């Protein structure tokens, strides 16, 4: 039943507002007209699946995956780990988690990033993994740097890691960002501030997790993720009127 039920409708108030003048680009990129709301169909309840054959041995280790193990990336070594569950609190096993981030200096390895902080020859900035049977995932990486961006006069992004999640259906697709406990730039960030529900914003901030850190090696941050769930019922497994 878990794999066939209708998706629980998205709570739009739990998500960022699409239009926010403090994040200027949203002003021309947010739909003006209402979204068409409808119950999910098989088109949203199915989705791509990715197998273990896809994932290389170094894919979830951003410290060495760009240099293929030849030399480590520069920066504070951190482990980022957590669980992917759905709204019914069930684990989401064997689902693809992709991440990308700036290097320790706040520079992305992208043809369009022109910030003058230097590239790290040993850091690419992307990683991926599959959750295990309990929905658990982990990455080893370096703490990303904060960086300035053209928006208002002097806006800076807090340290963050971008996360992309598939779940098991196309309607669960989600991209979000993990912030780091204690970063004073979170409260000043107009992108973080598009999430108006304070509790929801707090859920984007990964706490320091000393118990998961390793002495003389890395600090750990915990980032749990909730994807859309499915309505659990026996009542709608047959066509109407039957």
**Interface pick for another protein out of 106, 206, 227, 230 (rule CB under 8 A):** 227
Taking the complex as a whole, the smallest distance from the CB of residue 216 to another protein amounts, in Å, to 28
Q: Is 157 a catalytic residue?
A: yes
Taking the complex as a whole, the smallest distance from the CB of residue 240 to another protein amounts, in Å, to 6
String marking each residue 40-79 x if it binds another protein according to CB under 8 A = xxxxx-xxxxx---x-x--x-----xx-------------
Q: How many CA atoms lie within 13 A of 126 on its CB side?
A: 6
The catalytic residue among 23, 147, 179, 221 is: 147
Q: Is 213 in the site for another protein (CB under 8 A)?
A: no
Between CA 102 and CA 149 the distance in angstroms is 13
String marking each residue 100-139 x if it binds another protein according to CB under 8 A = x-------xxxxxx----------xxx-x-----------
From the list 197, 218, 230, the residue with the least C-alpha distance to 138 is 218
State which of positions 169-188 bind another protein (CB under 8 A): 170-171, 173-177
Between CA 159 and CA 17 the distance in angstroms is 22
Residue number with CB closer to another protein (89 or 234) = 89
Q: How many CA atoms lie within 13 A of 76 on its CB side?
A: 12
Two tokens, residue 179: 């912030």
Give the start-end residues of each E strand in 64-154. 77-86, 96-100, 126-130, 136-142, 147-149
The catalytic residue among 128, 157, 168, 228 is: 157
Taking the complex as a whole, the smallest distance from the CB of residue 100 to another protein amounts, in Å, to 3
The catalytic residue among 108, 137, 218, 221 is: 108
Two tokens, residue 188: 């000043």
Between CA 165 and CA 144 the distance in angstroms is 20
Taking the complex as a whole, the smallest distance from the CB of residue 155 to another protein amounts, in Å, to 13
User: Given the structure tokens 């989600």, which residue do they identify?
Assistant: 174
The catalytic residue among 15, 162, 173, 188 is: 162
On whether the CB atoms of residues 228 and 171 are closer than 8 A, the answer is yes
**Interface pick for another protein out of 1, 2, 14, 217 (rule CB under 8 A):** 14
CA 74, 158, 106, 138 torsion: positive or negative? positive
Residue number with CB closer to another protein (88 or 213) = 88
Give the binding range for another protein (CB under 8 A) out of 71-79, 134-142, 200-208, 210-218. 200-208
From the list 199, 163, 144, the residue with the least C-alpha distance to 82 is 163
Q: Provide the annotated active-site residues.
A: 108, 147, 157, 160, 162
């Amino acid at each position: 039943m878990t794999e066939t039920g209708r998706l629980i409708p998205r709570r739009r108030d739990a998500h960022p507002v699409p239009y926010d003048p403090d994040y200027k680009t949203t002003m021309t990129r947010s739909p003006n007209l209402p979204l068409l709301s409808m119950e999910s169909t098989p088109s949203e309840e199915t989705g791509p699946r990715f197998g273990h054959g896809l994932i290389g041995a170094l894919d979830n280790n951003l410290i060495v995956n760009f240099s293929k193990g030849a030399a480590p990336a520069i920066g504070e070594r951190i482990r980022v780990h957590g669980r992917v569950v759905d709204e019914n609190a069930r684990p989401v096993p064997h689902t693809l988690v992709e991440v990308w981030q700036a290097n320790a200096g706040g520079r992305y390895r992208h043809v369009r990033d022109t910030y003058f902080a230097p590239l790290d020859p040993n850091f690419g900035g992307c990683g991926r993994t599959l959750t295990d049977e309990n929905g658990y995932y982990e990455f080893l990486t370096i703490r990303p740097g904060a960086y300035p961006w053209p928006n208002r006069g002097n806006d800076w992004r807090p340290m963050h890691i971008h996360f992309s999640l598939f779940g098991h259906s196309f309607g669960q697709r989600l991209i979000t960002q993990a912030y780091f406990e204690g970063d004073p730039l979170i409260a000043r960030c107009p992108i973080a501030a598009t999430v108006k529900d304070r509790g929801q914003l707090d859920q984007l901030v990964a706490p320091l997790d000393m118990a998961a850190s390793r002495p003389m090696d890395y600090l750990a941050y915990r980032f749990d993720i909730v994807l859309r769930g499915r309505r659990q019922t026996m009542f709608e497994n047959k066509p109407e009127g039957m």
